[in-house]
């Protein structure tokens, strides 16, 4: 059993593909173990795609995942959990380049290549176990995932500021 990170990227959200993509992912019989709508700041974006920092398309990729090109400053982040979750989701997602991806895969069906060369490929999914762990820990807190996917520890922090719901005065 393993967990994998899926992001529905801003192009997927803008084009109302969420329902469709979730339906396709449900074919895997994997379980959704966590879900968040996330406003992606530059720091998170650059950490997520840190391994691509040297690529010529890096800056455009960062702006893409932050939602700057799609008027949607958010992504939908999901953790899928189950047997062989990583390869199952990768297979369904299809190849990185949507023009070369299997035409029945999610990226093959809905992705496109911009004239700049950037691949707008609708979803992200972790490529291997090491990447899944790094990415899930980047996007989720332990308490936001319903299974114990990775080892946790309890720490006590003094004077940590936290935003909470304001109590209503009667």
Looking at the Cβ atoms of 127 and 145, the one nearer to ligand IDP is 127
Residue with tokens 């109302």: 16
What does the alpha-carbon distance between residue 23 and residue 28 come to, in Å, rounded to a whole number? 10
128 binds ligand IDP (CB under 6 A): no
Least spacing, CB of residue 26 vs Mg ion, in Å: 22
Host H or E run for residue 32: strand 31-38
Among 118, 133, 144, 145, binds ligand IDP (CB under 6 A): 118
Least spacing, CB of residue 27 vs Mg ion, in Å: 22
Pairing of strands 2-8, 31-38: unpaired
Looking at the Cβ atoms of 60 and 84, the one nearer to ligand IDP is 60
What does the alpha-carbon distance between residue 14 and residue 16 come to, in Å, rounded to a whole number? 6
Q: Has 70 been annotated as catalytic?
A: no
Query: What mask, x for binding ligand IDP by CB under 6 A, covers residues 75 to 114?
Result: ---------------------x------------------
Listing DSSP states for 72-102 in one string gives ---EEEEEEEETTHHHHHHHHH--SSTTTS-
Looking at the Cβ atoms of 46 and 142, the one nearer to ligand IDP is 46
Q: Is 64 helix (H, G, I), strand (E, B) or coil?
A: helix
121 binds ligand IDP (CB under 6 A): yes
Provide the binding-site residues for Mg ion, judged by CB under 5 A. Answer: 127
Residues tagged active-site: 124
């Amino acid at each position: 059993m393993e967990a994998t990170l899926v992001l529905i990227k801003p192009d997927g959200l803008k084009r109302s593909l969420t329902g469709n993509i979730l339906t396709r992912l449900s074919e895997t019989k994997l379980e959704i173990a966590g879900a968040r709508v996330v406003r992606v700041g530059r720091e998170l974006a650059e950490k997520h795609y840190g391994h691509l920092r040297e690529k010529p398309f890096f800056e455009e990729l960062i702006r893409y995942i932050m939602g700057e090109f799609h008027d949607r400053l958010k992504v939908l982040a999901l953790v899928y959990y189950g047997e062989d979750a990583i390869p199952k989701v990768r297979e369904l997602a299809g190849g990185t380049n949507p023009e070369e991806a299997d035409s029945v895969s999610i990226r093959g069906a809905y992705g496109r290549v911009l004239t700049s060369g950037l691949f707008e490929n609708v979803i992200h999914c972790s490529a291997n176990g090491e990447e899944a762990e790094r990415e899930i820990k980047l996007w989720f807190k332990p308490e936001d995932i319903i299974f114990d996917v990775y080892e946790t520890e309890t720490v006590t922090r003094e004077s940590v500021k936290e935003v909470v719901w304001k109590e209503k005065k009667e």
